Amino acid sequence: MTLLSTKATCNTHGQDSSYFLGWEEYEKNPYDEVLNPNGIIQMGLAENQLCFDLLESWLAKNPDAAGFKRDGNSIFRELALFQDYHGLPAFKKALVEFMAEIGGNKVTFDTSHIVLTAGSTSANETLMFCLAEAGDAFLLPVPYYPGFDRDLKWRTGVEIVPIHCASSNGFQITAAALEEAYQEAHKRNLRVKGVLVTNPSNPLGTTMSRGELNLLISFITAKGIHLISDEIYSGTVFSSPGFVSVMEILKDRKCDNTEVWNRVHIVYSLSKDLGLPGFRVGAIYSNDKIVVEAATKMSSFGLVSSQTQYLLAALLSDKKFTKNYISENHKRLKQRQKMLVAGLQKAGIGCLKSNAALFCWVDMRQLLHSNTFDAEMELWKKIVYDVRLNISPGSSCHCTEPGWFRVCFANMSEDTLNIAMQRLKTFVLDSTVNGRNQNNHHSPKNSKRRSPKWVFRLSSPDRNRESDER
């Protein structure tokens, strides 16, 4: 008789995904310009480190906020004592105003509709508990963020059914794909409770079009189900077309006070837009009063500290700062993404055209020796161990086409990015030369050459490994 629960002993967390295993290998041999120049460069981490100087400058100019003071007097004791889990009113007000500013103030958000959570991981899981029972299903377009297998399913028992999207139309959602996923769920005797999308997309780095958003609203209206729009990358949109929140679509369609109005929910976070994943600040926004009340009760299991709320309330309330930060963040992200795309092009590699987020969806299909996911994993291992770059294979994102990879660009210096691109260029050149020598033609996909002499050293999965990175 076991003394542990089935949850403690189950193997459904998803930590044995190649997405998390790449992290494990990086941590064993991390790149450092001075101490370990031959180490693995981390390109699987979607962190925004490009504007830390702006944040640090603000902190230096606002010592009261950083020192937990008000008008020069310490409020440490006030912040250290017990706080209502509804959150500090000043922070909630500053947060919803920042969300509106990111969207060009085309819509406003009501503080009574927002629930604070310890990051978007907690927000998405909380919504699953509010909207679905164990054994119910949510439809997700593939490819999707690998952590959703953990966030949405592990503790809730909710199932994910893929909405199959293809490279032929830039991985956009279609009406046929939505209906196919819905019918597939019913074939599996799963009750569909909703659709979850990321906008901008993780891992595609693209914003959803108005056409896609309208399609989703029409679909959930017809089916009588929910829509969750994870908008944690909304402040990273650096070129046109701009970001459109699902709330803007609801307003345009005059859905106020309709049934569908209460079935659309937004997840937000400061982890990507402000580059503060360590602060663990996330939020749920819902027009459904019952969802807000239930989520608020659940939030007591993962609160945002009063100290964090006080500091960020002061920062986000500084409108001059937020306006400059948003603008500068867009400029720096655009420049860095351009560097990555140019480096990939020099290596003979293309990627999906993107306009947002902290990564690109990179097309390495021409480097596969066969059009299979086994070949994708073989290529991924070469890139991790021989090229010493940790990138995320498309299979970890449940992509249905082998050969796509998510490559991050905002968590490193320009010098490090240039080194990474030079390594990749050398690898592609060597692979092309070796392929020609062995095959006498230019098509890696159709190659019948012998298996390359690469030594794979991938360790066994660490069953206790966990990451909250998105």
Q: Which residue has the higher pLDDT, 132 or 1?
A: 132
pLDDT band at 6 (very low <50, low <70, confident <90, very high): confident
Higher pLDDT, 16 or 272: 272
Q: Is the pLDDT of residue 132 over 80?
A: yes
User: Catalytic amino acids?
Assistant: 145, 230, 232, 272
- Structure-derived torsion over alpha carbons of residues 242, 243, 249, 251, reported in degrees to the nearest 10: -100
Q: 251-275 pLDDT, tens per residue? A: 999 998 899 999 999 999 999 999 9
3-state secondary structure 264-320: EEEEEECCCCCCCHHHCCEEEEECCHHHHHHHHHHHHHCCCCHHHHHHHHHHHCCHH
Count of other CB atoms within 10 angstroms of residue 118:
20
User: DSSP assignment, residue 469?
Assistant: -
Looking at every residue in the chain, the average pLDDT score rounds to 90
For residue 464, what are its two tokens? 């206790």
| 56 Cβ contact partners less than 8 Å away, ≥ 6 residues apart | none
**How far is it, in rounded angstroms, from Cα 206 to Cα 259?**
29
Grouping H, G, I as helix, E, B as strand and the rest as coil, residue 169 is helix
The whole-number average pLDDT for the span 50-57 is 96
- CA–CA separation, 221 vs 461, rounded Å? 42
Other beta carbons within 10 Å of 24: 16
Element (H, E) at 159: strand 159-164
Closest listed residue to residue 323, CA positions, set 108, 111, 109, 102:
102
Residue with tokens 């998510």: 406
Q: Which residue has the tokens 């990627």?
A: 351
* Token digits of residue 244: 């459109």
For the chain, the domains span 12-53+322-446, 62-319
Residue 377 clears pLDDT 90, i.e. is over it: yes
pLDDT for res 7: 80
Residues in the chain: 470
Lowest mean pLDDT among 70-84, 217-231, 380-394, 439-453: 439-453
pLDDT above 80: residue 434: no
pLDDT band at 442 (very low <50, low <70, confident <90, very high): very low
Q: To which residue do tokens 């070796």 refer?
A: 434
On the question of pLDDT at 445 being above 70, the answer is no
| CATH fold of 12-53+322-446 | Aspartate Aminotransferase, domain 1 (3.90.1150)
Q: Give the pLDDT confidence of 154-197 residue by residue, as tens digits.
A: 999 999 999 999 999 999 999 999 999 999 999 999 999 999 99
CA 3 – CA 448 distance, rounded (Å): 53
In order of 394, 441, 442, the CA distances from 431 in angstroms are 20, 13, 11
Question: What amino acid is encoded at 302 in this protein?
Answer: G
The pairing of beta strand 282-286 with beta strand 114-117: antiparallel
| pLDDT confidence of residue 5 | 83
How would residue 432 be classed by pLDDT, with cut points 50, 70 and 90? Answer: confident
Output the CA angle 299-144-164, nearest 5 degrees.
130
Q: Residue 121: how many CB atoms within 10 A of its CB?
A: 25
Kindly report, residue by residue over 262-308, the tens digit of the pLDDT.
999 999 999 999 999 989 999 999 999 999 999 999 998 989 999 99
Taking residues 360-375, report their average pLDDT: 96
Q: What per-residue string of b and e applies to 133-150 under the rule 16 or more CB within 10 Å gives b? A: eeebbbbbbbbbbbbbbb
440, pLDDT greater than 90: no
Does residue 85 have a pLDDT over 70?
yes
Query: Per residue in 311-348, pLDDT tens?
Result: 999 999 999 999 999 999 999 999 999 999 999 999 99
Task: Answer for the pair 116, 283: CB distance below 8 angstroms, yes or no.
Answer: yes
Global pTM reads 0.89
Which CATH number is associated with domain 62-319? 3.40.640.10
Domains 12-53+322-446 and 62-319 share a fold: no
- Are 59 and 312 spatial neighbours (Cβ–Cβ below 8 Å)? no
Instruction: Please state, in angstroms and rounded to a whole number, the distance separating the CA atoms of residues 141 and 357.
Output: 17
Burial class (CB in 10 A: 0-12, 13-18, 19+), 467: middle
Q: What are phi and psi of 330, to 5 degrees?
A: -60, -45
